[in-house]
Amino acid sequence: DAMVIQNPRYQVTQFGKPVTLSCSQTLNHNVMYWYQQKSSQAPKLLFHYYDKDFNNEADTPDNFQSRRPNTSFCFLDIRSPGLGDAAMYLCATSRDRGGGTEAFFGQGTRLTVV
Amino acid sequence: GNSVTQMEGPVTLSEEAFLTINCTYTATGYPSLFWYVQYPGEGLQLLLKATKADDKGSNKGFEATYRKETTSFHLEKGSVQVSDSAVYFCALRGGSQGNLIFGKGTKLSVKP
């Protein structure tokens, strides 16, 4: 059974039109991450939640926001998508942040901006 | 800051060939090291990990040894199968927040 579920798998949005991607988990993990992965590039960490604490990466554009209303769900909001935001967006969870803690990934949402 | 560098792909091998995918890292402190694999149409899955120097992670015939002296964590498999075709990501977890940092990934294609 899928433990980290991302919806939708494919999302097409218009240039400048706000879009929300969702992620849910059944693992009851404390940490939830959002990564952006462009073709042939490393997944890039955008931000993460440790429980309710939001941790933004320094180079994440303000256009990207996130919400975590409860332990199970986390959302990625792109306020005004540009063509350069087309990418695969990966959600991941982990029990904790330290040491050898494994991260569990969803299947990703591929975002197309038209 | 922390970073991971892995060999460029794609790598194409014949079945039963020996595989090496090189990975080196830059990090402060003592990071944990990981290999993740992404099969077509699926999310990333943990393949193996090592949490301290000289540890060897192994799974499904794949191995990697944490070499602090060379800051490396090369992935090896003695005999690859067609089913090993996937993208392989080297990663480290370190720093004050234990963020998971990835390399660019290496695509492996195994031909029958």
* Cis bond before residue A61 (omega within 30° of 0): no
Which DSSP symbol is given to B82?
A: G
pLDDT of residue A1 exceeding 80, the answer is no
Structure confidence at residue A39 (pLDDT): 85
Asked whether the beta carbons of residue A107 and residue B43 sit closer than 8 angstroms, the reply is: yes
Structure confidence at residue B22 (pLDDT): 97
Q: Out of A40, A42, A100, whose CB is closest to B49? A: A100
Asked whether the beta carbons of residue A99 and residue B98 sit closer than 8 angstroms, the reply is: yes
Q: Out of B44, B50, B98, whose CB is closest to A98? A: B98
Binding-site residues on chain B for chain A (CB distance < 8 A): 4, 32, 34, 36, 41-46, 49-51, 89, 93, 97-105
Distances A18 to A11, A22, A59, A79 between C-alpha atoms, Å: 12, 14, 20, 5
Question: A39 or B55: whose pLDDT is higher?
Answer: B55
Structure confidence at residue A97 (pLDDT): 86
Asked whether the beta carbons of residue A90 and residue B41 sit closer than 8 angstroms, the reply is: no
Asked whether the beta carbons of residue A4 and residue B4 sit closer than 8 angstroms, the reply is: no
Structure confidence at residue B47 (pLDDT): 97
Structure confidence at residue B79 (pLDDT): 96
Asked whether the beta carbons of residue B46 and residue A102 sit closer than 8 angstroms, the reply is: yes
Q: Out of B32, B34, B105, whose CB is closest to A42? A: B105
DSSP A71-99: SSEEEEEESS--GGG-EEEEEEEES-SST
Any residues with CB less than 8 A from the CB of B9 and at least 6 apart, and which? Answer: B87, B105, B106, B107, B108
Q: pLDDT 10s digit of each residue in chain B, 112 long?
A: 889 999 888 999 999 999 999 999 999 888 999 999 999 888 899 999 999 999 999 999 999 999 999 999 999 999 999 999 999 999 999 877 788 999 999 999 999 9
Closest-CA residue to A44 (of B42, B71, B105, B46): B105
pLDDT of residue A98 exceeding 90, the answer is no
pLDDT of residue A2 exceeding 70, the answer is no
Query: What is the arithmetic mean of pLDDT over A85-91?
Result: 96
Residues of A in contact with B46 (CB under 8 A): 102-103
State the Cα–Cα distance between residues A41 and A36, nearest whole angstrom.
Answer: 9
Structure confidence at residue A73 (pLDDT): 97
Which 3 state secondary structure label does DSSP give B60? coil
Query: What is the arithmetic mean of pLDDT over A26-33?
Result: 96
Q: Out of B32, B43, B102, whose CB is closest to A100? A: B32
Residues of A in contact with B30 (CB under 8 A): none
Structure confidence at residue B95 (pLDDT): 75
